[in-house]
């Protein structure tokens, strides 16, 4: 049996294809998601492979979920309504291009229709937590904020040693949408960071915590200079 | 009956969802939830867990709709990827036993795809199905298993009692052939 010779995929594309297929372990998946945030060419490979493999999903039998699911989803939404506005705008700014235009428009629409809102201050001692995930929905970091001690505990789920050329910088993005640096976190570690003076009042339910990928030493700008790898919002546990 | 349309009707829902339009999310849910529930159920084989994941998936879509880029992916692929990732996360959270309990042949007796699913699959699906069947049987099976069950290289190697490097090279070679076939 003669087989036509197929050249191997270039390493980058092979890794992208493996990510799209789903064979990578947790650490490798996190590394792949970070690369997607940082390297548009790599992200394009992953997207292309997802499209290539997607027809397999079409062969899966569609099954009606029970009618109780939608009401549960709807109940889950108001939390986001209250808190995403500044973040959306900021995210668009971080991504630039089409994203910027779309996000700015979204922000304008949303701000114009903003209902009055009352956000109760957190009860003393109540922790706020956030899961920071990528655009692909993968959790990369978890954070918990203690408003009484004014400390943020962050854990990186990224495999240790991933991408030693860059650092991961944490940001607090409060309601005004302007990111404030909180420091850096090493892949695979946990860390307790004091909330800087003046920021603790802003670290409340609905504020976002994000991680950007930065050159050694962190961002030299007033805000992230590299791509945002993961983002999540503080919510009551 | 046209199998494709130039404009994906789901695409126009995304900016509305990003802007906080619940009716648009509801429309998306009505159009796609059975499909995504099928995806979750396929991976998790458990209705309650699949419903939990489905709920998380639409809330994720609500929060992430602004990151959807129409030029880069179709809505269906984008939301299916979220559903697959979440279901795989849930499966992996069950621990290593989850893999041992999976039925290896699951992907072969697949139930009867609905007529509309087949129609959807008609264009690209036919090509992918044909190209998958051109691979040797073992490679085809391993690729399908990985895709549907979210099984890592390590777990595949254990299941097939083969060295990790060997499983990896089967899959990589299989993917290269698949691409060559789809492009020919």
pLDDT tens string for chain A (237 positions)? 445 567 889 999 999 999 999 999 878 888 888 888 888 899 999 989 998 998 888 778 899 999 999 999 988 875 444 344 444 444 443 443 333 333 333 333 333 334 444 444 445 557 888 888 887 777 788 899 988 888 898 988 888 887 888 899 999 988 888 889 999 999 888 888 888 888 888 888 888 899 998 888 898 888 888 888 888 888 887
CB-based contact B57:B82 (threshold 8 Å): yes
CB-based contact A104:A209 (threshold 8 Å): no
Q: What is the largest CA-CA distance in chain B?
A: 51
The radius of gyration computed from the CA coordinates of chain A, to the nearest angstrom, equals: 20
Average pLDDT of span B24-43: 94
Average pLDDT of span B28-38: 95
Residue A68: its chain B contacts at CB < 8 A? 51
Distances from the Cα of A63 to the Cαs of A122, A202, B54, in angstroms?
Answer: 41, 44, 12
What ipTM was predicted for this assembly? 0.77
The confidence band for B36, taking pLDDT boundaries of 50, 70 and 90, is very high
pLDDT for position A120: 46
pTM value surpassing 0.80: no
Q: Do A88 and B74 lie within an 8 Å CB cutoff?
A: no
Q: Which one-letter DSSP state was computed for residue A63?
A: -
Tens digits of per-residue pLDDT, B92-125?
A: 777 654 454 443 333 333 444 444 444 444 444 6
- How far, in Å, CA of A208 to CA of A210, rounded? 6
- Window B:153-182, CB contacts with A under 8 Å: 153-154, 156, 171-173, 175-180, 182
Distances from the Cα of B129 to the Cαs of A56, A58, A200, A202, in angstroms?
Answer: 8, 11, 55, 53
pLDDT for position B7: 62
Q: Do B146 and A135 lie within an 8 Å CB cutoff?
A: no
Considering only CB atoms, B18 lies closest to which of A53, A73, A106, namely A106
CA dihedral A223, A207, A80, A31 (to 10 degrees): 50
Q: Compute φ and ψ for A177, nearest 5 degrees.
A: 80, 0
pLDDT for position A182: 92
Q: Do B86 and A84 lie within an 8 Å CB cutoff?
A: no
Give percent of chain B above pLDDT 90: 38
* Helix (H/G/I), strand (E/B), else coil: A181: strand
Is the pLDDT at B81 greater than 90, yes or no?
Answer: no
pLDDT for position A172: 92
- How far, in Å, CA of A225 to CA of A165, rounded? 15
pLDDT for position B67: 80
Q: Do B117 and A53 lie within an 8 Å CB cutoff?
A: no
Tokens describing residue A120: 């109760």
pLDDT for position B125: 62
Q: Among the ranges A200-214, B29-43, B132-146, which has the highest mean pLDDT value?
A: B29-43
Contacts of B86 (CB under 8 A, 6+ apart): A137, B40, B53, B56, B57, B60
Question: What is the nearest CA distance from A206 to chain B, expressed in angstroms?
Answer: 12
Concatenated DSSP letters of A145-198: EETTTTEEEEEE-SPTTS-TTEEEEEEEE-TT---EEEEEE-TT-EEEEEPPTT
Considering only CB atoms, B69 lies closest to which of A8, A68, A98, namely A98
pLDDT for position B51: 96
- How far, in Å, CA of A204 to CA of A215, rounded? 29
Considering only CB atoms, A47 lies closest to which of B73, B143, B148, namely B73
Tokens describing residue A74: 């709807």
């Amino acid at each position: 049996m003669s087989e036509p010779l197929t050249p191997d995929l270039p390493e980058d594309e092979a890794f992208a294809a493996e990510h799209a297929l789903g064979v990578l372990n947790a650490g490798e998946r996190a590394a792949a998601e970070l690369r997607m945030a940082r390297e548009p060419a790599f992200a394009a490979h992953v997207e292309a492979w997802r499209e290539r493999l997607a027809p397999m999903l079409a062969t899966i039998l569609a099954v009606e979920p029970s009618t109780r699911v939608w009401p549960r989803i709807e109940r889950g939404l108001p939390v986001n309504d209250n808190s995403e506005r500044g973040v959306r705008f900021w995210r668009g700014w971080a991504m630039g291009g089409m994203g910027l235009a779309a996000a700015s428009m979204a922000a304008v629409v949303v701000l114009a229709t903003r209902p009055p809102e009352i956000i109760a201050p957190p009860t003393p001692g109540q922790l706020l937590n956030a899961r920071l995930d990528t655009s692909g929905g993968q959790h990369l970091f978890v954070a918990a904020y203690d408003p009484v001690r004014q400390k943020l505990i962050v854990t990186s789920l990224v495999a240790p040693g991933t991408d030693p050329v860059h650092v991961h910088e944490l940001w607090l993005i409060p309601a005004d949408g302007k990111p404030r640096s909180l420091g850096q976190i090493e892949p695979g570690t946990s860390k307790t960071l004091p909330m800087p003076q003046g920021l603790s009042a802003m670290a409340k339910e609905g504020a976002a915590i994000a991680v950007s990928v930065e050159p050694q030493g962190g961002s030299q700008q007033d805000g992230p200079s590299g791509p945002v790898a993961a983002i999540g919002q503080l919510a009551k546990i | 009956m046209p199998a494709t349309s130039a404009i994906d009707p789901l695409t126009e829902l995304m900016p509305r969802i990003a802007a906080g339009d619940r009716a648009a999310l509801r429309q998306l849910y009505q159009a796609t939830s059975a499909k995504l529930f099928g995806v979750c159920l396929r991976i998790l084989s458990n209705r309650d867990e699949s419903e939990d994941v489905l709920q998380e998936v639409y809330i994720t879509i609500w929060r992430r709709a602004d990151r959807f880029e129409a030029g880069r992916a179709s809505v269906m692929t984008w939301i299916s990827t979220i559903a697959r990732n979440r279901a795989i996360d849930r499966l992996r959270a069950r621990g290593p036993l989850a893999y041992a309990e999976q039925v290896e042949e699951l992907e072969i007796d697949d139930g009867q795809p609905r007529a509309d699913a087949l129609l959807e699959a008609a264009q690209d699906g036919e090509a992918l199905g044909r190209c998958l069947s051109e691979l040797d049987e073992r490679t085809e099976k391993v690729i399908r298993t990985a895709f549907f069950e979210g099984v890592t290289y390590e777990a595949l190697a254990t299941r097939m009692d083969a060295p990790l490097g060997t499983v990896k090279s089967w899959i990589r070679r299989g993917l290269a052939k698949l691409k060559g076939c789809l492009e020919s």
